[in-house]
Structures are given as C-alpha cells and as structure tokens.
Structure 1
Amino acid sequence: MRMRVRTWKNPAWWFLLPSFTGVCIFYFIPYIDVFRRAFFSAAGGEFQGLDNFKTVLTNPAFQLAVKNTGLFMLVCIPLLLFLSLVIAVWIYRHSKIGNFLKTGFLLPMAIPVAAVVLLWRILFDDQGLLNGVLDRWGTGTCEWMDTRWAFVILVVSYIWKNLGYHIVLWLAGLSMIPDQIYEAAQMDGASDRVIFFRITLPNLLPMLFIIAVLALLNSFKVFREVYLVAGNYPNESIYMIQHLFNNWFRDLALDKMTAGAVLLSILLILLIFLLQKAWEDRA
C-alpha cells in the first residue's frame, strides 16, 4: 500500500491524467460501445448475435473494398519504404543540400487537401491538362478517374504525400548509427554497397518495424482526396473501405458499420502482431 501511495504521489501521473482521461472518453469508451452495437440491430436494438458480421462478410461492396484496400497496401507500403530509404540514405550522405531536399519532400504534407483536389482536377479531368496534351498529340483523351488508371494515380498521390514524412523517420534512424563504424569500414576498404548492406541496413532494422506500422496505419487514411474528386461511388479500382463506411454512415446502417469497424480493428491488430512477430524473429 505504501508503494502504491508513493507512486500516485509522483507528479508525472497527474500530468498524464488529463490525456488519459481524454483517451478513455473519446477513444476507449466509444470503441467498447461500437463493439456492443455490432451485436444488435440498428433500429430496434434487438440482439443479432453474429448475423451482422455474416451480413458484412457476404456483402459484395465490403469484399470489393477489402480487396482494393489490401492491394493498395501491398503496392504502396513496400514501394514507399524502399523509395524513402533510398532517398534518406542519399540525403544523409550529401548533407550540404540535405536540409533543402528535406524541406522539398516535406512540402506535400503542408499542402491543404483542397489544393490537392484542385491539382487533381486540373491534371486528370476530362478537359484537364493531361487530356489537353494527349489531344494535341493526336493520341486521344482518357477518362483517368473512371479507368484502371485511377488506381495508379491514387498510388502516386499517396507516395507523393507521405514520402517526406518517412524520409525524416529514416534519417532519424541513420543519425543514431555511430560515424566511427563508417570510418572503420572505409579504412578497411569497404565499398558503398558493402557498407549499406552490412552496416546501414542492419542498424536500421529497429526503425523498420515502427516505420512499417506507421505506413500501414496511414494507408487506411487515403480517402478525402478520392472522395472529393470522384464522389461516393468512384471507379471500382479505388473503392476503398473508407468509401464503404462513408456510404453506410450516410444510410444510417449502424449495424453494418459497427460490425465492419470491429472486423477492421481485429484485422489491423493481427497485421501489427504479424509485423512485430516477423521483426522479433529477424532480430
């Protein structure tokens, strides 16, 4: 009891209490309520058991959204991690222009969503800039956001938006590697390739798990730009889970929405657990 009293007398607990209270009120308690509502009907509040989950899992729109979101993650996350790592290593080795390049790569994060949407419309509209160039060349126009090209555009936009953030994370990991290790390797005549694969990459493995989890979570946030450009029902190739939840919310399908949210949270927890397990096995 004495130890417990002494612990609560620590001023740090009182500084953490407001944040902890806010997390409980706005995150933890609502999630418990969502989990409860997933087993009841939206209208009468009757207990449905697992019927809501069966309805969601057999819904063609849910299956399409999960497939597209999964494909988007499989393409974007490895590509983003690779590109950001390569650029971060190059910036770290060229420190004279490193700050300028970091600022340039971080600029997309500061651009408002409205400006990004306006840029999309200027480039990819039926009467936009790209179609104007293609028409002048005589190759014909393309409905970019209504074809499979929409998925490619979404991938490029996501990487462009998040590249700078991940570069900064990699640079933080690179800065923790002692310079003496690089100097010793260079004195032994090690090439740049050997230094990267034998020194840089192994020392960055602790950062890989954190960056991969952040990339995974950010990949679920790619919604606003597509929604503002293409509306509630975009091309099938870019119909994501966020579109489905938005449409369910508009239709007040709370039973489907809560069941889908529970399934999605379980999926995210499993993915993060698998990433952590793979990282621990490698370590």
Structure 2
Amino acid sequence: MSLPLISRRPGAAGTTGAAPAPAPAAGGARRGTRSLGALFVSPYALFLLVVFAVPLGYTVWMSFHRFYFTAPGTDVDAPWVGLGNYRDVFTDPVVLRSFLNIGVFLVLNIPLTVVLSLVLASALNSRLPMRSFFRAAYYLPYVTASVALVAVWGYLFGTDGLLNQTLGGLAPDPSWLVNSTLAMPVVAVFVTWKNLGFFVMLYLAALQSVPRELYEAVSVDGAGRVRTFLTVTVPGVRHATTLVTVLAIIKGCNLFTEPYLLTGGGGPDHASASPVLILYQKGIEQAHPDFAAALGVVLVLFVVTLSLIARRFTEKKEG
C-alpha cells in the first residue's frame, strides 16, 4: 500500500521541518554597546563637568558683575555691570601688551616646535645607534620641574651668565632677560626646548602608521632623503601636525611659570608678560577677580579662534 506524499516545503502545513530561528536584532546589540560605553564614560564626563564646565560658567557670571573676594559666610552684593569688565580689559595697555607678547611667542614657538619635533622624530624612528638613549634624553626636560630648568637657563642667560661670558663684547646690552626686545624670544626658545620631547613622542607615534611601502616606492623612484621627507613623511603625519600645532597654541596661551620665574614677573616693563600672568596679578595680587574673569573669558575665545584657524591651515580636505 502506498503512503501519501508529505510536502517538504518550508512553512507548508503539515511539514515536519522546523523553520529557521530568526536572527537576533542588531539594533538591540548596538544599544547595549552604547549603554555600556556611556557607563564607562560617565565618571570622566562628570569630572569634566565639575572641574571645567562649572568653574567656566561661574567665571562667565563673574565677568558680568562687580565681584569681590570675601571671607566664608560673608554676603556681599555683586551688582550687574554688563560689559564694563570687558571694556576695562580691552582698554588696559598692559593686557594688550600681553596679547602682543603671546603673538611674538607663538610666531617663534610654533614653527620651531613643529619643524624640530618632526625632524627629530624622523631621525629617532630610523635605525639610529643608542636610539633609546636619545629618546629618553629629549623627553627628560619635559618631565623635569620648570623651577629647576629656569635656574639653569637663568645661569646661562643672566647678565653675568655663561653665554654672555662666552660672547664677550658681542653680548647684548642690556642682557637677554632684561632686554625688552629679546626677553620674549628667549622665553619662546626655552619653552620650545622644554616641551620638545612631548611633541617628538606624538610624532613618533604617528610615524608608526605611515606605510613602509610608500618609502619603498619613492626609494625605487630614486628620491633622496629630503624628497622622501617632504613627499611621504610630512603628508603621512598631517593629523599629528594639527594636534601638535593646537597643543602648542594652548600651551603658549597659558604661559605663566616661565615668564614669572625667568624674567621676574613679566619684565622688563611687561615685555614678557602673558595674559595668564596678568590674570593672576589682577585677580589675586590686586584683588580684582571680576576683571580677571573677563580676561579669562577673552583668553578662552582667543585660544579657540587660533586653534580653529590652525586646524584650517594644517588640515586638508581628503579627496
């Protein structure tokens, strides 16, 4: 006796084959990953909010009021003054001189930082004898206390310092750190030398991502070291150059320790004063925190503007 045929089509009535299980939803997995990422990021986000966002907001509020430092528990009115503090900032000749000083500093510091750190990183990335020693030697000044380094540079560039004794009659008069023309350039060279190791490290990390095939290709074409550096290395670390430039701008605009210690508080006659140094003198030493708050807000906007301009000029649109 013949048996009736049973349909084997998936999903047909009476079939004995089980339908395939539905694939898990990808959206749920992505939501879970995002939730886990938000959980890990939240402590740092809270840290940024407490340490940076809240003080910045309070600074902006202070800049629009007549504010005074008072003893704990003392209630003193802080009347609204609008743009009065900003008007005082933009009409203060010392503040304007400090921004001019920073301009001189950045014109010297940024090209020196970018060129020297990239050249040194390229050299240290090659097969160089005692390469580890040189890498540590260039990084050592960055992790050394600024006070100790300033003492050494004060000895070198002082009126009776080693450099003037070496130059003899060719030494500038007045000397380097008390010369209104040379004080800021000396500070710029000092800061460049001190921070060079940090930027060399950034470029060394970026050089690891440049494909070796590019170097081999230009070598086959007969390119020399200079041409290889300009056509392969420089474009290959373009994003690192943007980072180095922006960080150099931020560090330069926040200059404080070096002019405070190296030139005796921004001398001579405010020739090496920086906005942060003026902010400290006005807000802490002269008890004008509202003026200092307005100067701080102006400085933040100044740094953001310069950073955006630097990014525009160092980053090129990709194909």
The TM-score, its normalising length taken from structure 1, stands at 0.88
- CA separation in 2, counterparts of 1:279 and 1:156? 23
- Residues 240 and 188 from structure 1, CA distance in 2 versus in 1: closer, same or farther, beyond 3 angstroms? same
Gaps of 5+ in 2: 1-26, 69-76
Match of 2:113, SS?
A: helix
Counterpart in the other structure of 1:156: 189
Counterpart in the other structure of 2:60: 35
- CA separation in 2, counterparts of 1:12 and 1:26? 22
Offset, 1:282: 4.8
Counterpart in the other structure of 2:212: 179
> Is the Cα–Cα contact under 8 Å of residues 62 and 244 in structure 1 kept in the other structure?
yes
Offset, 1:25: 1.0
Offset, 1:195: 1.9
- Residues 201 and 32 from structure 1, CA distance in 2 versus in 1: closer, same or farther, beyond 3 angstroms? same
Point out the structure with max Rg over C-alpha.
Answer: 2
Match of 1:48, SS?
A: coil
Counterpart in the other structure of 1:69: 102
Offset, 1:180: 1.7
- CA separation in 1, counterparts of 2:148 and 2:33? 48
Give the partner amino acid of 2:134.
Answer: L
> Is the Cα–Cα contact under 8 Å of residues 259 and 274 in structure 2 kept in the other structure?
no
Listed as ranges, the matches of 1:37-56 within 5 Å are: 37-43=62-68, 44-56=77-89
> Is the Cα–Cα contact under 8 Å of residues 158 and 222 in structure 1 kept in the other structure?
no
Counterpart in the other structure of 1:205: 238
Does the alignment pair 1:101 with 2:126?
no
Does the alignment pair 1:268 with 2:303?
yes
Does the alignment pair 1:220 with 2:253?
yes
- CA separation in 1, counterparts of 2:83 and 2:215? 58
Greater mean deviation of Cα atoms: 146-155 or 273-282: 273-282
> Is the Cα–Cα contact under 8 Å of residues 233 and 243 in structure 1 kept in the other structure?
yes
Counterpart in the other structure of 2:278: 244
> Is the Cα–Cα contact under 8 Å of residues 123 and 130 in structure 1 kept in the other structure?
yes
What per-residue deviation string (whole Å, max 9, x for no partner) do you get for residues 220-279 of structure 1?
Answer: 243213212433351232111122111112111111111111111111111222223334
Listed as ranges, the matches of 1:104-115 within 5 Å are: 104-115=137-148
- CA separation in 1, counterparts of 2:167 and 2:227? 45
Counterpart in the other structure of 1:253: 288
- CA separation in 1, counterparts of 2:195 and 2:171? 33
Gaps of 5+ in 1: none
Does the alignment pair 1:277 with 2:312?
yes
> Is the Cα–Cα contact under 8 Å of residues 53 and 260 in structure 1 kept in the other structure?
yes
Offset, 1:165: 1.2
- Residues 221 and 233 from structure 1, CA distance in 2 versus in 1: closer, same or farther, beyond 3 angstroms? closer
Give the partner amino acid of 2:118.
Answer: L
What per-residue deviation string (whole Å, max 9, x for no partner) do you get for residues 67-117 of structure 1?
Answer: 001111111111211111122222223344332211111111122122112
Instruction: Using CA pairs under 8 Å that are at least 6 residues apart, name the structure with larger relative contact order, 1 or 2.
Output: 1
Greater mean deviation of Cα atoms: 33-42 or 196-205: 196-205
Offset, 1:160: 0.9
Fraction of identical pairs, as percent: 25
Greater mean deviation of Cα atoms: 266-275 or 47-56: 266-275
Offset, 1:132: 4.5
- Residues 140 and 15 from structure 1, CA distance in 2 versus in 1: closer, same or farther, beyond 3 angstroms? closer
Counterpart in the other structure of 2:177: 145
> Is the Cα–Cα contact under 8 Å of residues 260 and 277 in structure 2 kept in the other structure?
yes
> Is the Cα–Cα contact under 8 Å of residues 116 and 225 in structure 1 kept in the other structure?
no
- CA separation in 2, counterparts of 1:273 and 1:20? 23
RMSD between aligned residues: 2.7
Greater mean deviation of Cα atoms: 160-169 or 190-199: 190-199
- Residues 17 and 225 from structure 1, CA distance in 2 versus in 1: closer, same or farther, beyond 3 angstroms? same
- CA separation in 2, counterparts of 1:77 and 1:50? 33
- CA separation in 1, counterparts of 2:287 and 2:170? 48
Does the alignment pair 1:25 with 2:57?
no
- CA separation in 1, counterparts of 2:238 and 2:175? 42
- Residues 138 and 69 from structure 1, CA distance in 2 versus in 1: closer, same or farther, beyond 3 angstroms? closer
- Residues 66 and 160 from structure 1, CA distance in 2 versus in 1: closer, same or farther, beyond 3 angstroms? same
What per-residue deviation string (whole Å, max 9, x for no partner) do you get for residues 167-218 of structure 1?
Answer: 1111111111111221222223232233222222221212221111111111
- How many pairs does the alignment contain? 281
- Comparing both structures, which one devotes a greater share of its residues to helix? 1
- CA separation in 2, counterparts of 1:139 and 1:182? 46
- CA separation in 2, counterparts of 1:91 and 1:233? 36
